[in-house]
Amino acid sequence: MSNRDNILNRLKQNTLSEPVKIESNVSSFVWSKDEKITQLTKCITAVHGEVHHLTNIHWIDWLNQELPKRGLKQVLIGRNKVTDEYTYKADKSVTIHHYDKPIDSWKDKLFNQIDVGLTTTVGAIAKTGSLILWPDAAEPRLLSLVPPVHIALLDANTIFDTFEQAIEELEWAKNTPSNALLISGPSKTADIEQTLAYGIHGPKELIVLIIDK
Amino acid sequence: MNQTEAFYQRIEKALQNDQVRQNIRSAMNGLMQKRAEQFNDPEELSELREKARSIRHYSLAKQAELLEKLEQKLIENGIQVHWAETAQQANNIISTILKDAGAKTIVKGKSMVSEEIGLNDYLEQQQIEVLESDLGEFIIQLAKEPPSHIVAPAIHKNRQQIAKLFHHFFPELSYSEDVNELTLMARKILREKFEKADAGVSGVNFAVAETGTLCLVENEGNGRLSTTSPDLHIAITGIEKVVEKLSDIPGLLNMLTKSATGQTITTYFNMISRPRQPDEKDGPRAVHLVLLDNGRSRIRFDNDLLETLRCIRCGSCMNHCPVYVHVGGHAYGTTYPGPIGTVLEPQLAGINNIGALTSACSLCGACAEVCPVKIPLPKLINQLRAEAVNEHFSDKPVLGKGSLRKTPEVIAWSIWQKIYSNPFLYKTFSWFATSLNFLTPSKLGKWSKYRTVPKPAKKSLNQLAQENGFDYE
Ligand code: SF4
């Protein structure tokens, strides 16, 4: 018999009585859009992230104002309808790179030359201050991870109250993305004396632009 | 030296190291406080714990079925599944996968199961370079030490010790004791490794049967890098980590991060369901999952002991344990220290090997009070103590039952039992004990090494009660 069968047979020897599982109550929170934005902003800023609620400025204009000020020049984006517009509207101090080739041939550039990874998001979770990303062919997995700054665009109408609610409304289990992420701040560690330090392996900065028109 | 003596020697050594004790004490204080801040509503906490308990218990009850479902889903998703009954088998499986892929260098995300099977040593013997990428794990890998805590592996070291360690191994980097600088150094050293590594190895926090998803909880991003950047990803997990549905995850994740580090959520929650797809630009081309038994299915056989398997490895029980705080993780001499280690390790390795751990508990109950999945740790420790000295072997499936039974102890207790169950003997005994109390020896062998021998009072409680007018029964 195989290892597999041996293990499963042992597990089948003790059948426990029908257990009861307490299911999640999805509707326990009902926040308005503004409340959700406030809560999300509170959580992300508490862990050193930046949140900007853009109501009367286009996100591209915001980037064109801010990136030169911060000395951020090399911006990596995916192949995505939303971010494509930036390709021809970006400030002239910024060079746009596209993540459109398999990583194997240009890993060195990704790891060493890019300043900013710009991504969209599937949504966010207000309660924990988490962005939901489902990386795919258009916006690959490492785009939000390797560059030292991650800028995420978030549509104000896609913020959920809780993770439970996001799972249900996005029909997450049925759609199962190849890779899904909750990102709730810049990379950090407290492994030395329980003292927080940011930017250990992933982005040192997380900037969330909430687009709300 | 027998296991008890060896254990006591490790404790002795730990108690003499004031620096380590201070480091651990202050870290545990911080962790306890942060956890308490997250759970400020006792009623809500009790509901959340009950819910988390029920999810984990349900998963264990349906374990075989869920593992089969998980396997089927993972295969559909393109992830290869391997089953290992023992540590040796798991090591073999992993090294074969690596060799077949021609992988020479691997980066690892933090994984306690890989510590349990001794993966690093095994691979290094096969000339495969293994690099731990979690900052804490990286530090102790340099120091050639095992983790001292399941969540914060380098918690026993302070910044000066770490600065010296870095300086020794990377003399080209300038010396610093600043935590930010040290962190940046590690970033620099490890980045290049991530870029070049042939394979990544990680653990798994939860495996979802419904969708075939491997979930990883972390703050640093090293777990994401290890599982995304190299062309090959191998995950290893204990067979108990499976849960039924995706909707089970939020309740467990919430309890895990709050209990472990007092965080509402960790920076990253990474859910992997497929290797790189044909149109995708990154991610590993091959993903493997190794499901490890290593004694877990035996534990599940007993309805009391199976509660052990609900554990989600938050580390909260050790943060709150007065014994752990004093002796630290290394004194246990096992992969998992603290209360959960005391319960799990003798069941995995056998009481005949490591049953002495069960003596390192005052049954204060702090661990059971904070455990997010309500494992009755003191009750289980007590049961294992009984198994350790059991003469009539119980039907509990514990390895090495009765192996700590000692004849002098057995004789002493049977005399004690005789005296206490016979009124005449008891009276005679208490008369001798009280009237001849000046004869009480001041030393009672090893027992009195750290304790004062109690002297019986001049009058027994019985006598006092009678004198005060209580009826004698
Ligand atoms: S036994 Fe409970 S408290 Fe201890 S690590 Fe496991 S889940 Fe956490």
Considering the domain boundaries, does residue B53 fall inside one? Answer: no
Q: How far is the CA of B304 from the centre of ligand 1 (A)?
A: 16
Same domain, yes or no, for B325 and B379? yes
Q: How confident is the model at residue A27 (pLDDT cuts 50, 70, 90)?
A: low
B230-255 CB burial, b ≥16 within 10 A, e <16: bbbbbbbbbbbbbbbbbbbbbbbbbb
What are the C-alpha distances in Å from A133 to residues A74, A200, B89, B241, B431?
A: 22, 21, 36, 24, 77
Do residues B9 and B79 share a domain?
A: no
DSSP H stretches of helix in B331-395:
338-349, 351-354, 366-370, 377-388
Residue of A nearest to B273 (CA): A178
Does a structural domain hold residue B327? yes
Cβ–Cβ contact A172 with B under 8 A: yes
Of B252, B268, B294, the residue at which a domain comes to its end is B294
Q: Give the residue whose CA is nearest to atom 2 of ligand 1.
A: B371
- In chain A, what residues touch B67 (CB-CB under 8 Å)? 7-8, 11
Q: Which residues of A touch B57 (CB under 8 A)?
A: 19, 21
* Domains in chain B, number: 3
Tens of pLDDT, residues A156-170: 999 999 999 999 999
B128 with B263, same domain: the answer is: yes
Are residue B186 and residue B69 in the same domain, yes or no? yes
B417 and B453 housed in the same domain? yes
Residue B92 lies in a domain: yes
B276 to chain A nearest CA, in Å?
8
Mutate to test the interface with B, among A201, A205, A206, A208 (most CBs of B within 10 A): A201
pLDDT of residue B1: 82
pTM of the shown model: 0.94
Last residue of a domain, one of B371, B405, B439: B405
- Considering only the C-alpha atoms of chain A, give the largest distance between any 2 of them, rounded to a whole number of Å: 69
Question: Which residue of A111, A180, A193 is in closest CB contact with B271?
Answer: A180
Q: What is the pLDDT of residue B111?
A: 96
For residue B66, the domain's CATH number is: 3.40.50.10420
pLDDT on residue B439: 81
Residue nearest ligand 1's atom 6 by CA = B311
A-chain residues within 8 Å CB-CB of B162? 192
Domain boundary among B405, B429, B444: B405
Amino acid B452 reads T
Q: Look over chain A and give the mean of its residue pLDDT values, rounded to a whole number.
A: 95
- Same domain membership, residue B176 and residue B248: yes
pLDDT digits (tens, 9 = 90+) for A50-98: 999 999 999 999 999 999 999 999 999 999 889 999 999 999 999 999 9
Query: Chain A 95-154, CB below 8 Å of chain B: which residues?
Result: 99-104, 107-108, 111, 127-130, 135-137, 140-142, 145-146
Question: Residue B26's domain spans which residues?
Answer: 1-38+305-405
Which contiguous run of DSSP H or E holds residue B122?
helix B119-125
CA distance A130 to chain B (A): 8
pLDDT at A23 over 90: no
Q: Which residues of chain B have pLDDT under 70?
A: 393, 472-473
Instruction: Inspect the interface and report whether the beta carbons of A8 and B231 lie closer than 8 Å.
Output: no
**Which of B149, B241, B317 for a ligand 1 pocket mutation test, highest count of atoms within 8 Å of Cβ?**
B317
Q: Read off the pLDDT of residues B2-55 as tens digits, 9 standing for 90 and up.
A: 999 999 999 999 999 998 999 999 999 999 999 999 999 999 999 999 999 999
Q: Is residue B174 part of a domain?
A: yes
Same domain, B107 and B20: no
- Domain identity same for B95 and B20: no
Predicted pLDDT of residue B286? 98
Tell me the mean pLDDT in the region A102-126: 96
Supply the pLDDT for residue B393: 65
Complex-level ipTM: 0.97
Tell me the shortest Cα–Cα distance from B271 to chain A, in angstroms: 5
DSSP string, chain A: --HHHHHHHHHHHSPPP----PPP-GGG----HHHHHHHHHHHHHHTT-EEEEESSS-HHHHHHHHHHHHT--EEEE-S-HHHHHHHHHS-TT-EEEE--S-GGGTHHHHHHT--EEEEE-SEEETTTTEEEE---SSS-GGGGTSSSEEEEEEEGGGEESSHHHHHHHTTHHHH--SEEEEE-SS-EE-TTTT--EE-SSS-SEEEEEEE--
Pick the CATH number of A31-212 from 2.40.37.10, 3.40.50.10420, 3.40.50.1980, 1.20.1050.10: 3.40.50.10420
pLDDT per residue as tens digits for the range A192-208: 988 999 999 999 999 99
